[in-house]
Amino acid sequence: MGSEVGGRLVNMTVFKRPDIRFPPAKKKLWHELLPNSRFLVNMYAAGSSLLPDSVITTIAKGILTTRGAPDFGMFREGAILVNNRGERFTDELKNPHQALAEQPEYQGYIIFDSKFAKKFSSWPCFVSTAAGVAYAYVQDYERDTPDIISKGQTLREAAARIHPQPDTVVRTVERYNSFVEKQGDTDFGRSPLGDGIVTPPFYVMGPAMAYIGITWGGLDVDSNFQVLNEPGQVIPGLFSAGRNAGGLMMMGHGLGLAWALTSGRLAGKIAARSVPA
């Protein structure tokens, strides 16, 4: 809408490489259903500062298992990634995010066995994290999101419940295990290969998808959040903030949300001042 009235767009081709994430659960979390107003938000803030850390951790864990991203440590420790045809398509230890973005429907499945699952049931090996706040393990996913994790006494049984091509998954894992035995991945050159996927029960998690989570394109603004046109002049009455305002590129946990809140508040105040009384 901003560009239609002459706003200049910047950084429209800049984005962070894709992340591998599980798709958000369909069901809303209870705290997403809470009503929203200035008074209530202040109440929630005051209330949450009184809550014990264990309650905050439980809430955060629920967000992780329904909105989370599998940690790269899963591949480092021996899990493999297959596409929805059931085939491996990359060295999982080298930028699997980008490779997944090139697969059919951008979908992948993570496969491991019970020896691995035991390791990923407690610190320091976790499936997903909000760093420093909470960690979600295999059993948390089994409890909260059984639709994206399947366990079976045989690999075929585990795959059949959530993967469209269970027979290919079985063949792929047999081939991978042969690489582990020979200590050489002749398909993609992965090293190290881990311990193989051999100990029942077996697990299949997915689909996980390649998402572009962060883009940096948007409307060019001045330091008062006023939108600029092509020659760089202010378009009177038009303001932009948050991700919609292009130009500010930040990496790191929380900066996107912090900037959305801060710039939105500042832009709102400045915009309000510009309205004649």
Ligand X SMILES: Cc1cc2nc3c(=O)[nH]c(=O)nc-3n(C[C@H](O)[C@H](O)[C@H](O)COP(=O)(O)OP(=O)(O)OC[C@H]3O[C@@H](n4cnc5c(N)ncnc54)[C@H](O)[C@@H]3O)c2cc1C
CB-count exposure of residue 113 (10 Å: 0-12, 13-18, 19+): buried
CA distance 32 to 71: 25
Q: Minimum Å distance from CB 243 to ligand X?
A: 4
Question: Smallest distance, Å, CB 21 to ligand X?
Answer: 6
Residues lying near ligand X in the complex (CB under 6 A): 21, 211, 213-214, 242-244, 253-257, 260
Q: Minimum distance between the CB of residue 61 and ligand X, rounded to whole angstroms?
A: 15
Smaller CB distance to ligand X: residue 16 or 115? 16
CB of 91 to ligand X, least distance (A): 25
Nearer to ligand X, 73 or 242 (CB): 242
The phi, psi pair for 3, rounded to 5°, reads: -70, -30
Which residue, 198 or 271, has its beta carbon nearer to ligand X? 271
Residue with the shortest CB distance to ligand X: 242
CB atoms within 10 A of CB 128: 22
Strands (E), the chain: 9-10, 19-21, 80-83, 107-113, 128-130, 134-136, 149-152, 202-211, 218-219, 226-228, 234-239
Cβ closest to ligand X, residue 43 vs residue 249: 249
Query: What's the min distance (Å) between Cβ of 261 and ligand X?
Result: 8
Task: Pull the structure tokens for residue 226.
Answer: 């006023």
Largest CA distance in the chain: 78
- By beta-carbon proximity to ligand X, the closer residue of 40 and 249 is 249
